[in-house]
Every structure is written in C-alpha cells, then in structure tokens.
Amino acid sequence: MILGVLAILAVSATALAANSTYTNPILPGFHPDPSCIFVPSWNKTYFCASSSFNAFPGIPIHASRDLQNWKLIGNALSRPEMLPALATTNRSTSGIWAPTLRYREEKSKGRFWISTTLVFDDLPKDNVSRWDNFVISTDNPYDSTSWTDPVHFKFGGYDTSLFWEDNGQVYVVGSHEYEVWPGIQLATIDLQNGKTGPWSNPWNGTGALAPEGPHIYKKDGFYYLMLAEGGTGLGHMVTMARSRHGIQGPYEPAPQNPLLTNANTTAFFQTVGHADLFQDARGNWWAVALSTRSGPEFLNYPMGRETVLTPVTWNQGDWPIFTNVSGTENGWELPPQTLVPEGKGPYVDSPDHLTFPPGSPIPEHLVHWRLPTPDTYLVSPPGYYNSLVLRSSVLNLTGYDGYYTGGKGQTFIGRRQTDNLFTYILDVNASSLREEEDEVGVSVFLVQRYHFELGIVLLSSSSSSSYSDSSVSLKPHFRFRGISNTSVPDTVVPFPSFISLDTAITMEIKAFNWTHYFFSAGPRDQRHLMQTYGYARGEQISWGFTGTLVGPYATTNGRNGSANGAFSVSVGNWTYIPQGQVIN
C-alpha cells in the first residue's frame, strides 16, 4: 500500500476535519510566486494570483472562503491582444514573472490590481527591453474578460509590487537585475498613465544571492520590506527589514533573518521563499510562499514550484515569526468550510471529465504554450459532436532548437498536473493523418527543452499501405520520445494488428508512483488491449521555473511545404483522475 510504503498521502482539502489542521500545498502544481489577499467586502473571500510564464491564458486567479478549498475563478491575462509579445517570447524561462495582487477600496468602491513583468529572458541583463512592466486592474475578478489592457511603465527590473500610502499616494517597489544594478528600487507611480517618480534604493537585502520579490507592508507605525533571497533553488529564503522613519527608510534588517526557509534541512518541502503576507477575518496573519516537493537532493519535482500556506505570529511592534513549511500544519483556527459558487473554473483538486459540448467555451483551466494561433482549437464543430478539434502546427513541442518558436505557435493544450499520482485519459481520432511525420499524441510537457510524449505518427514503411502517395509508403506507428538533459532514445512500434487509423484510440498517461510516468495506448472499446510504449522519470522533467502540463498535441514536425492546419484531428473524453498527493 502506497500510504505505508512510499509516503504519507494527503486527502482532498474538502475532506479535512480538524479546524486548525490543513495540508500543503494549497495550490499544487504549476502555481509559483503566489500573491494573496483577503477582501472582507467580497464575501470574506481570499484571492491568490500566481506566475504563468509562457502559459496562456495567464496569471490564474484562485479564490477561497475557508483557506482550504481553492477554486480557479479566472485568468487575469485572457485576451491575446492584451500582451501580443507573449507569442514571441524567447527561452523557456520567459513570460509572466511574479504578479502581485492587491485590492484598494476608495469611496466605497473597490478595485483589484495586479503589477507584473513580461520577461524576455534571452536578452542581456543590462538591456532594459528585457523587462516589460505593467499594471492591470478589474472591478470583478470572477470575470476574466474584465481585466483592463496593460498600463506599461518603465523599470529595468521585475517582481514589481504596489503599495498605497494612507494619503492615497501609490508606490511601486521592484527588483533591479542584481547582477547589473542595485537590488531593490522604489518610486511613486501614476496608475492611469504609468509615469513613475525618481527611483530610490531603500534596501538590498542581507547580502545573499538575488534579492527580489519585494513587498511593503505598514503595521504599528513601521514600514516593513520583505524580500526573497538566495535564488529560487535550495538556498531560497524570506528576509525582512523595517523603517520607522517613512517608506524611503533607512531600513533596519530583522536580527533573526532569514525569517522563513527550509534551506540546509532534510525537509521534503524545499526552496521555500518568495512570500506574501495577509490577515484573515479574525486578524491572524498568514504567509503564502512557493515551494517544491523535492527533498534536499532536489532531483524529482516535475510539478515545479507550488503554493504553500503557513501561519505567522506578528505581535504589535515585533518582527513576524513564521512557522516552518511542512506537509501537514497546525495553524490559526480555520474559517468554516465554505465553497465559492462564483467563477467558471474548477477547484484545484478536482478531477476532469470534459466532453466539449457544442457551444461551450474551452474550460478555464486549460492552457497553451504561448499564444494560440487563431482557429486552432474548435469545440464541437459540425461533424465532431462532443469533441475538441485540433489543427496541426508546423512546429512540434520542441520547436526548432528548444528555445524559439518564431511566433508560429505550437498546437498543444493542457492542464496543470496537480497530483503526484494521477491518470490522464484521452480518446483520439487520428484518421485524418495523411503525410509522413503527421503526428497526434499526448504529452507531459514542462517546457520546450523538457517534455515526453506518446504519438501516433505516419512513418515510411517498406510494405504497402492505403496511406501513401506516389513516392513513399506510410504506416501508422506509436512513437515515444522526449527531450531532457539526459539522453532519451525514441521508441517506435508499428501499430499492432488490432488497431488501425480508423480505430478510436485511447491514450493514457499514468503516474502510479511519484517518480515515474507511463505512456500507454490501445483501442478505445477494448481497454484490456492497452499496451505501454514508454516511461519517463520525474527527474527528467524537473527544471526551471514552471511545472508539468498534460494534454494533446498535433504537428507535422516541421515538414517542408506544410503549413499550420495541414490536418485536423478530434479528441474527446478528456479525463484526469487525481489519485494521491505525496506530502512527506
């Protein structure tokens, strides 16, 4: 039994009984750099934003009324025209970094604000074009389309955060590229036009690597400036300084820095840092932070940096005291369990069974890698009832060299892996494949440089085939392959005799332990004939800033003369079954 042999498994948040005990992560999977707030006037609701990098829709917004059940209520970056440059960001580490979510109520009218950065990570660190900082806002976070177009502002850095003074003056604090300029910068900002005042340098941290992720809080007459330091790996930590003389400082570092870290421990939850602070309905303080479930060896963490929650004791005039992050925590008394009825997305621990009924939108929690090209994903078009039709891209999941896409788009749609143990099932109709290297399949995708997939692909064959042209004979094959920092040989197997391209084929990805993925396929109506064609180790897709996605792709693999939409395939019966969390 996995519970006794491998690990302690967390139950779903909806099954928790103790009113002060909860499990981490609260947002499992690809949800790094969390920023959370409590808004009493919005039905006593907690809202969280997290980084999305190259995923689109981007900047997912989750809501909870009990700090235990978190529902995706929308994506703040939902329209391609909001940020068209996301289509051509280079490098797998580019995209949206560290959104900070804040709420401001003025004259009994409230508004939600996000400040963040679109990063072009291939540009030199002293090139200010590397950083595109902007602010967006909404008066209704439950409506993804209500977020405004970006108001851009000039700043040669990232991880920006807004702060309102008591008189209404707005400040923005951010992280300059620490290898080029002094670390933390502060200025006034006009949120209507993005104009900033002169920049100052209030504090650069304790001297550790990469002072970043700054947030400012005002409490008991002090201005507190909280940072992430140590880099986002095993040395990650939270530090703080405060000023009693105004927002510009001088700032006095906390004598017990770092205030939160799991560095140099054997804890299963590692890389803890990049925190944000908020109060609950009773006035108790909490922190959210990012963490990987990797252990100190930092090898197997394909779900990437996740959002964890930990209680904070912050007495009047004192420094905050953070509880160390672990899988099971005893915190302040939790609010009564209450679900959030608003919003179109699922709870973060929900299973999927998607049938794509006619007239329905693409579900809120499904994402693409960079911006999708138009008319590539069609829900139940004529002749394809209860199906999602994918039009192929020239580029496959790797693209040209693992970094660049040239804005052409990659046909891939996935959901975040939110469970260590899961089964993902998809029915595929591949009968429209016609040319050599036409391919459709399912993938565990981290970034362009790290992914594994099982595809149905047409390849040359010495025997005759009904799928042929005048120059080459083609036969369908299952092909398992991937790209990682280790060698990954292709496995190519001709279709077994009981499968043809006219057969409805079920494809399956299964993580039945927390270190390996298995890729299988077989006839939809004869599941006992399913065969496994490959496996991948979690450590082979553990890298960088993001987390794994699972879903289908369709490509001509760069075939000369082909164009996007060279063929279309339909998929359906999209099923994702959560089967366990490893928390220790």
- The per-residue pLDDT for 290 is 98
Show the CA angle centred on residue 144, arms to residues 306 and 103, nearest 5°: 70
214 compared with 525, residue with greater pLDDT? 214
pLDDT at residue 300 greater than cutoff 80:
yes
Q: Is the dihedral of CA 571, 573, 578, 579 positive or negative?
A: negative
pLDDT tier, 4 (very low <50, low <70, confident <90, very high otherwise):
very low
Based on the residue annotation, tell me whether 139 is a catalytic residue of this protein.
no
| Domains of the chain, residue spans | 34-330, 352-582
- The per-residue pLDDT for 472 is 62
Q: Flag the least confident range among 161-165, 271-275, 556-560.
A: 556-560
Which residue among 66, 121, 132, 212 is the active-site one?
A: 212
Written as six digits, the tokens of 257 are: 């820095």
> H or E stretch including 46?
strand 45-49
Please give the model's pTM, rounded to 2 decimal places.
Answer: 0.94
Average pLDDT over the chain reads: 93
pLDDT tier, 19 (very low <50, low <70, confident <90, very high otherwise):
confident
- Burial state string for 403-425 with b = 16 or more CB within 10 A and e = fewer than 16: bbbeebbbbbbbbbbbbbbbbbb
Record: fold of 34-330: Tachylectin-2; Chain A (2.115.10)
pLDDT at residue 467 greater than cutoff 90:
no
pLDDT at residue 430 greater than cutoff 80:
yes
Q: What is the CATH number of domain 352-582?
A: 2.60.120.200
pLDDT digits (tens, 9 = 90+) for 175-205: 998 777 778 999 999 999 999 999 999 999 9
pLDDT at residue 470 greater than cutoff 50:
no
Based on the residue annotation, tell me whether 33 is a catalytic residue of this protein.
yes
- The per-residue pLDDT for 407 is 82
- The per-residue pLDDT for 561 is 85
Q: What is the mean pLDDT of residues 9-38?
A: 77
Distance CA 348, CA 28 (A): 7
98 compared with 406, residue with greater pLDDT? 98
CA-atom Rg of the chain in angstroms: 24
pLDDT at residue 486 greater than cutoff 90:
no
Q: Are 530 and 508 in contact (CB under 8 A)?
A: yes
Q: Flag the least confident range among 62-71, 325-334, 450-459, 469-478.
A: 469-478
pLDDT digits (tens, 9 = 90+) for 63-113: 999 999 999 999 999 999 999 999 988 889 999 999 999 999 987 789 999
- The per-residue pLDDT for 462 is 54
- The per-residue pLDDT for 464 is 38
Q: Flag the least confident range among 209-213, 428-432, 560-564.
A: 560-564
Q: What percent of the chain has pLDDT over 70?
A: 95
